[in-house]
Every structure is written in structure tokens, then in C-alpha cells.
Amino acid sequence: MACLRSLSWRTSCTLVLGLAPVSRHVVYCGRTADLLGRSRAAPLCAPRRLRAAGEIHRFRTSDASQATLASVSPVFTVTKFDKEGNVTSFERKKTELYQELGLQARDLRFQHVMSITTRNNRIIMRMEYVKAVITPECLLILDYRNFNLEQWLFRELPSQLAGDGQLVTYPLPFEFRAIEALLQYWINTLQGKLSVLQPLILETLEALVDPKHSSIDRSKLHVLLQNGKSLSELETDIKIFKESILEILDEEELLEELCLTKWSDPQVFEQSSAGIDHAEEMELLLENYYRLAEDLSNAARELRALIDDSQSIIFINLDSHRNVMMRLNLQLTMGTFSLSLFGLMGVAFGMNLESSLEEDHRVFWLITGIMFMGSGLIWRRLLSFLGRQLEAPLPPLV
């Protein structure tokens, strides 16, 4: 029976391969071949399915990450000033804002270092807590967090941009007015800091160097130290301001890029009424504020020189007081040495030794007088020796 079953299975398979009529063995072998075919085809189809699943997972992960980044993107409070001085405020996400302005994400990054850069016909100005973007049509101030800055924004800046202020660039395109207004604000801020520090420092130095006061007031020294630190910070700000402007003045291409109207509408402003090119106008504007910054730097440098000179005088006075104390200590030491040297006679007579001299009352006063006179003479000799050593040497004869 086993042989017949084996023969029947082989025969059915042979009939299937030979395209014989269908039988139940043929159906059995057909199912087997179908299963074998599926098992062989599975390795070819599996990678495609896995790749499709991986792509779907990657797309879902990308969408989730984009949604997460969009949700944590900072929201800026933007204050917009147009050419007529109109002011509008609105909130906008950082991703939306730099896409609308045609900038990059790093262009809207807040930095405390002053810089002036251009990108895509936009001017980006950073001045510590001031972040501004200038376009040919408007000025955008991002996230101001200073009360004094708020007063300037809503009281002075709109009128300056509209032409009611004292800006010399009012006949020029809008970007000139915006740049001058921002540079003027920063120069006024630096000037205000210097105006506050200068009287305080001068008053403190006058109190410290006054010859009527023999001692140094420590509270005044502490005030001078604090004011000196503030002056150092101010000098650093002025230096950064000068370097930023000088970097633009040294690059002709940067001067051309700051003239936004040239690239947006060349017909609006090619030359001024005096026949000066727009790039030269920008250069003159920056040179003017560079000169103002140089004047502030010179004033701060003079104030620093006064502090250094006063400190030298204070140190000289302290050294003089220290020398007086050392000299007094040395004189007392020499007097003690002289007195102890002749005090040996009193020590000798004070011992419990008997002699014929203790019976005479005049000997006591004689020995005491010799002790004091000898100590005084030795002390005077030591003081004269000390004076000769401390005398200034005579200049050599020519």
C-alpha cells in the first residue's frame, strides 16, 4: 500500500507537470506548488513592504518633529514703522517672520554684540537689546524689553522717520533715515552713560586726592572701583561700535548693499542734488557717526587717564604713610635696644649679691643717671646713622 501511495503521488505529480487531466492528486499537488510558490516569492515582496513601512514611519516622525519645532518656535513682538511714521504692533512666530522677510533663522538670533549686516535686500542691525530689520518700505523692531527704549520708540522715532525730527538724511530714501535714527539713538545712549559717569568719577577723585584728608576713605575707593568697571564696559561698547562702522567703511560692496533703494527701484535715487552717489552718501553718514564715537572714545580715554593718575597719587600717599610708620617702628626699636643695653647695669646691681656699694645712697642715683644718659647717647647716634642712610643721594657733579 505504501508503494501504491508513493506511485500514485508521483504519477499525479507527473500528470500535473505533463499537463494531464485534472484529478484530486492534481489538486493536492497544485496546492503544494501554490504554497511553495508563496514561500519562494515571500523574500522578494518582504523588502518592499518593509521599505514602505519605513517611509511611512519616517514621514510620520518628520511631521511630528516639524510640529514640535513649530510649537516651540519663539513668538516675537514686532513693532512696525512706515515712512509716514505710523506705528503698528503684532506678534509673529520666528519661523513665519524670517520666511516673510526672506531671511534665515540665524539673522533673527539675538546677540549682544553690535553688528550691521545685509541679506536679500534687508538690513539687520543688532545693538545689545535692540534688534531691527530695515526694508525699503518700513522698519521693524523685534522684542524690545527696555523702558527707555519704549519711550524712544513711541515718542521720538515716528516723528524722526516722518521727517519732523533733526535727521539730516530726510531727503534721502527711507533706509538712510532708519539707519541714522538707530545710530543716533545708540550714540545718545553712550553719551548718556558717559555723562552720568563723568561727574561721579571726578567727584570721587577730588575727595580721594584732597591733601586735607590724611587718610583714605575706603567707601570712596569702593565707589571708584565700581565706576571704573562701568567705564571699562562703556569703553568696550564704544570700541565695538567703532569697529562695526569701520568694517563697513572698509568694504565698498557692503556700502552698496546698504543702499536698498538702488536694488529695489533704481529710478528713485541714483544721485543726490549735490551730484553725490548714494553709496557716497551712506559713507558720509557712517563716517559722521564714527567721528562722534571717536569723540566719546577720547573723552572716556581722558577720564581713564585721570583715574590712573589719581590712583598713582593715592598709592604714593599710601607708600608715604607706610614709610612713616616703618621709620617710627625702627626708631622705637633702636630706643628699646639702647635702653636694654645700659639696663644691664641695673640688672647686675639688682641681683642678690652683697657689695659695699649698696650701703651708699648716692650710688643708686649715679648708676641710674649713667644708664639713662648712656641710653640717650646711643639712641641719638643710631638716629643720626639712620638719617644719613635715608638721605637722598646727591646728583653727580658734571
Map out the domains of the chain with their CATH numbers. Answer: 73-148 (2.40.128.330), 322-350+360-387 (no CATH)
Quote the CA–CA distance of 140 and 81 in Å, as a whole number: 6
162 has pLDDT over 60: yes
144, with CB counted inside 10 A (0-12, 13-18, 19+), is middle
| From 40-54, 303-317, 383-397, the region with the lowest mean pLDDT | 40-54
Q: For residues 153-177, give the mean pLDDT.
A: 83
Per-residue pLDDT tens over the stretch 259-281: 888 766 666 555 444 456 778 88
Quote the CA–CA distance of 87 and 153 in Å, as a whole number: 9
Per-residue pLDDT tens over the stretch 67-124: 455 556 678 888 999 988 889 988 888 888 888 888 888 888 776 678 888 888 899 9
Q: What is the pLDDT of residue 215?
A: 60
146 has pLDDT over 70: no
243 has pLDDT over 80: yes
> Whats the size of the chain, residue-wise?
398
More confident residue, 131 or 397: 131
When pLDDT is cut at 50, 70 and 90, the band that residue 10 belongs to is very low
Sequence-ordered list of residues with C-beta below 8 angstroms from that of 326, at least 6 positions apart, any chain: none
Mean pLDDT over all residues of the chain? Answer: 74
395 has pLDDT over 70: no
pTM above the 0.95 mark? no
As given in the structure block, the three cell numbers for residue 256 are 552698496
Q: What is the pLDDT of residue 298?
A: 95
More confident residue, 190 or 130: 190
Sheet holding 75-82, edge to edge: 87-93, 75-82, 138-142, 130-134, 122-127, 115-119
Which of 85, 93, 82, 69 lies closest to 143, judged by CA? 93
294 has pLDDT over 90: yes
More confident residue, 266 or 137: 137
Quote the CA–CA distance of 181 and 161 in Å, as a whole number: 8
C-beta separation of 136 from 174 below 8 A: yes
160 has pLDDT over 70: yes
